[in-house]
């Protein structure tokens, strides 16, 4: 799943590289077309004979975190406002925005059709071949206007609301360190009990760190049943791994 190959406007390559770049803030979530990622994933699923539930679960967590992050960055101030709204009012507001976007999409379709219909309408672009050459004349200007214009360019943009900063992805490395330290003290632990109280975004990043550790062979993951607690164990402790596997 993580080697899912993507071909987006802003990014081309495997999904896990995309995540890494996003987490390192080398790529803006706003640049990423998430629907295209979902489409690529669904196509990949359709190609396969059987459904990999684990991969689907992982994908859902990561994509929903991405969506939330992108939404928060798009509406830095409004996010807080929406939270404060009653559910009905929030739904009303969301519907208004969706409606607005939908109408713009329709308008774009109309424009595209119009353009196609006008393909046999030709006119000249630019001046006529034998037109008189006009001269542009400008009235005397006040040089203070130049100073005013340059000063305006030196004004920093309004401070961006920091309310969404709490929702920024923490670095994966933070969780890598945390889990490694944990495993140096304990042979195994439950994922849920370690991430309890963290935001969904942080939980998603913690999960990413887990996958990272498993990929590098440092840990073993197990889960007794879907939605059961996820157990993490040191790989060097074979006994525990087999015990967990048997009991599962």
Partner 1 sequence: MDSTLRLIATNPLDQLARTIEALLIVASAPLSVAELAEAAEDDPERVETALGLLRERFGERRSGIVLEQVAGGYAFRASREASEACARLFERPIERGLSHAALETLAVVAYLGPCSRPEVARIRGVAADSAVASLVERGLISEAGRESGPGGAVRYRTTPLFERVFGLESLAALPRLDDLGADGEQIRERLLEVASARAS
> Could you say which residues in the range 54-113 bind partner 1, by CB under 8 A?
70, 74-75, 86-88, 90-92, 94-95, 97-108, 110-112
Q: Which of 46, 138, 196, 225 binds partner 1 (CB under 8 A)?
A: 138
Rounded Cα distance between 248 and 242, Å, is 10
Q: How far is CA 185 from CA 23, 180, 242, in A?
A: 28, 9, 20
The CA-atom distances, in angstroms, between 106 and each of 52, 74, 101, 127 are 37, 22, 9, 35
Least distance in Å: CB of 21 to partner 1? 15
- Please report whether residue 166 would count as binding partner 1 according to CB under 8 A: no
Match 């706003």 to its residue by tokens. 30
- Residue closer to partner 1 (CB basis): 46 or 130: 130
CA 75 from chain center: how many Å?
14
155 binds partner 1 (CB under 8 A): yes
Q: How far is the CB of 106 from partner 1 (least distance, A)?
A: 4
Which is nearer to partner 1, 46 or 152 (by Cβ)? 152
**By rule CB under 8 A, what count of residues binds partner 1?**
75
Using the rule CB under 8 A, is 120 a contact of partner 1? yes
208 CB neighbour count, 10 Å cutoff? 23
Question: Would you say 188 and 231 are in contact if contact means Cβ atoms under 8 Å apart?
Answer: yes
How would you class 137 by CB atoms within 10 Å of its CB: exposed for 0-12, middle for 13-18, buried for 19 or more?
exposed
Nearest-angstrom CA–CA distance, 178 and 248? 26
Q: Which is nearer to partner 1, 53 or 154 (CB)?
A: 154
Among 42, 60, 147, 224, binds partner 1 (CB under 8 A): 147
Tally of CB atoms within 10 A around 29:
19
The yes or no reply on residue 7 touching partner 1 (CB under 8 A) is: no
Kindly tell me which residue out of 48, 121, 185, 239 binds partner 1, with binding defined by CB under 8 A. 121
Q: If binding is defined by CB under 8 A, does position 151 make contact with partner 1?
A: yes
- Is 190:210 a contact under the CB 8 Å cutoff? no
Question: What is the smallest separation between the CB atom of 204 and partner 1, expressed in angstroms?
Answer: 20
Q: How far is the CB of 153 from partner 1 (least distance, A)?
A: 6
Nearer CB in complex with partner 1: 46/128: 128
């Amino acid at each position: 799943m993580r080697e899912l190959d993507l071909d987006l406007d802003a990014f081309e390559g495997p999904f896990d590289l995309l995540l890494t770049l996003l987490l390192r803030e080398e790529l803006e979530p706003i640049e990423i077309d998430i629907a295209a990622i979902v489409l690529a994933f669904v196509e990949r699923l359709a190609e396969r004979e059987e459904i990999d539930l684990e991969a689907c679960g992982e994908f859902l967590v990561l994509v929903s975190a991405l969506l939330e992050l992108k939404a928060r960055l798009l509406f830095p101030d409004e996010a807080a406002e929406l939270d404060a709204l009653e559910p009905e009012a929030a739904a009303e507001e969301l519907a208004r925005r969706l409606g607005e976007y939908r109408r713009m999409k329709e308008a774009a379709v109309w424009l595209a059709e119009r353009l196609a219909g006008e393909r046999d309408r030709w006119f000249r672009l630019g001046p006529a071949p034998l037109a008189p050459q006009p001269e542009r004349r400008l009235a005397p200007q006040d040089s203070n206007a130049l100073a005013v214009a340059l000063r305006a360019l030196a004004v920093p943009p309004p401070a961006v609301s920091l309310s969404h900063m709490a929702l920024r992805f923490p670095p994966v490395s933070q969780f890598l360190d945390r889990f490694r330290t944990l495993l140096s003290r304990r042979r195994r632990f439950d994922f849920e009990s370690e991430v309890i109280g963290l935001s969904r975004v942080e939980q998603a990043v913690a999960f990413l760190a887990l996958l990272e550790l498993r990929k590098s062979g440092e840990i073993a993951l197990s889960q007794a049943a879907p939605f059961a607690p996820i157990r993490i164990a040191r790989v060097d402790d074979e006994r525990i791994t087999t015990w967990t596997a048997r009991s599962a």
